[in-house]
Chain A
Amino acid sequence: MKQTIVRRVGELPTFGFGPQSGPWWGAMSFMALEGMGFAIAIGAYLYLYAVNPTWPIGASPPDLWPGTAETIIFLLSIIPNQYANRAAHQQDRHKVRVWLVVMSLIGIVLLILRGFEFAHLNTRWDNSAYGSVVWLILGLHTTHLATDLGDTIVLAVLMFTSHARPRRFSDVTDNVFYWNFVVIAWLPLYVLLDWVPRL
Chain B
Amino acid sequence: MSMAAEQRDVRDDALHGLQLAARLESIWRTPPGLTGALMSVDHKVIGRRYIVTAFTFLVLGGLLAILMRIQLSGAENRLLSPDLYNQVFTMHGSTMMFLFAVPVMEAFAVYLVPLMVGTRNIAFPRLNAFSYWMFLFGGCFLWISFLFNVGPDVGWFAYTPLSSLQFNPSKRADVWAQMITFTEVAALAVAVEIIVTVFKQRAPGMTLDRIPLFVWSMLVTAFLVMFAMPSIMVASTTLILDRLVSTRFYDPSSGGNVLLWQHLFWFFGHPEVYIIFIPATGMVSMILATFARRPVIGYPVIVLSLIATGFLSFGLWVHHMFVTGLPHLAAGLFTASSMLIAVPSGLQIFCWIATLWDGRPVYRTPLLFVLGFIVIFVIGGLSGVMVASVPIDTQVHDTYFVVAHFHYVLIGGAVFPLVGAVYYWFPKICGRMLSERLGRWNFWLAFFGFNIAFFPMHILGLMGMPRRVYTYTLEMGWERLNLLSSVGAVMFALSFAVLLANAIYSLRKGTPANDNPWDASTLEWATASPPPPQNFDRIPIVTHREPLWADGDTLPVVAGLSAERREVLLTSLAEAEPQIREASPEPSIWPLLTAIATTIFFIGSIFTPWAVLWGTPPMAITLIGWFWPTGSKEDEE
| Cβ–Cβ < 8 Å partners of A166 in chain B | 637
Q: Once the chains bind, are B234 and A40 in contact (CB under 8 Å)?
A: yes
CA A48 – CA B195 in complex, angstroms? 34
Interface size class of B (residues with CB under 8 A): 35 or more
**Among B254, B526, B635, which residue has the most Cβ atoms of chain A within 10 A?**
B254
B5 to chain A, nearest CB (A): 15
Q: Number of contacting residues on A, CB 8 A?
A: 57
With a CB–CB cut-off of 8 A, which chain A residues contact B256?
A: 48, 129, 132
**Interface contact A21-B230, CB-CB below 8 Å:** no
Identify which of residues 1-33 in chain A touch chain B, using a CB-to-CB cut-off of 8 Å: 1-16, 19-22, 25-26, 29-30, 32-33
- Give the secondary structure class of A's interface: helix
Encoded as 1 (CB less than 8 Å from any A CB) or 0, chain B from 190 to 212 comes to 01100110011100100000000
Decide if B505 is an interface residue (CB 8 Å cutoff): no
Q: Which of A5, A51, A131 contacts B257 (CB 8 A)?
A: A51
Map CB proximity to A onto B317-331 as digits: 1 under 8 Å, 0 otherwise. Answer: 000000000000000
Does A136 count as interface, using CB distance less than 8 angstroms? Answer: yes
* Contact among B249, B557, B636 for A4, CB-based, below 8 A: B557
Which B residues touch A135, using CB under 8 A? 247
Known: A26-B192, A150-B620. A128 touches B248 (CB 8 A): yes
Q: Which of B13, B578, B582 has the most chain A CB within a 10 Å cutoff?
A: B582
Contact A37 B234 (CB under 8 A): yes
**B96 nearest CB across to chain A (Å):** 24
Interface centre among B247, B267, B555 (most CB of A within 10 A): B247
- Nearest 5 Cβ contacts at the A-B interface: A10-B560, A132-B247, A129-B255, A37-B230, A129-B256
Task: Count A/B pairs, Cβ under 8 Å.
Answer: 202
Provide the main secondary structure of the chain B interface: mixed
The reply on A44 being an interface residue by CB < 8 A is yes
Complex A-B: 25 CB contacts under 8 Å: A1-B554, A3-B557, A4-B555, A7-B559, A10-B561, A12-B578, A12-B579, A14-B582, A14-B583, A16-B580, A19-B573, A20-B572, A21-B570, A21-B582, A22-B570, A29-B192, A29-B196, A37-B230, A44-B249, A127-B254, A129-B256, A132-B247, A136-B237, A136-B241, A163-B636
**B11, CB-defined interface residue at 8 Å:** yes
A167 surroundings in chain B (CB, below 8 A): 583, 637
Structural contact, A57 and B255, CB atoms closer than 8 A: yes
Q: Which residues of B contact A109 (CB under 8 A)?
A: none
B501 CB-CB contact with A under 8 Å: no
B58–chain A nearest beta-carbon distance, Å: 27
A165, CB-defined interface residue at 8 Å: yes
Residue of A129, A150, A163 contacting most chain B CB atoms (<10 Å): A129
In the bound assembly, the distance between CA atoms of A192 and B330 in angstroms comes to 26
**B249/A129 in contact, CB under 8 A:** yes
**Residues of chain A lying within 8 A (CB to CB) of residue B260:** 44, 47-48
Are A1 and B11 in contact, CB atoms less than 8 angstroms apart?
no
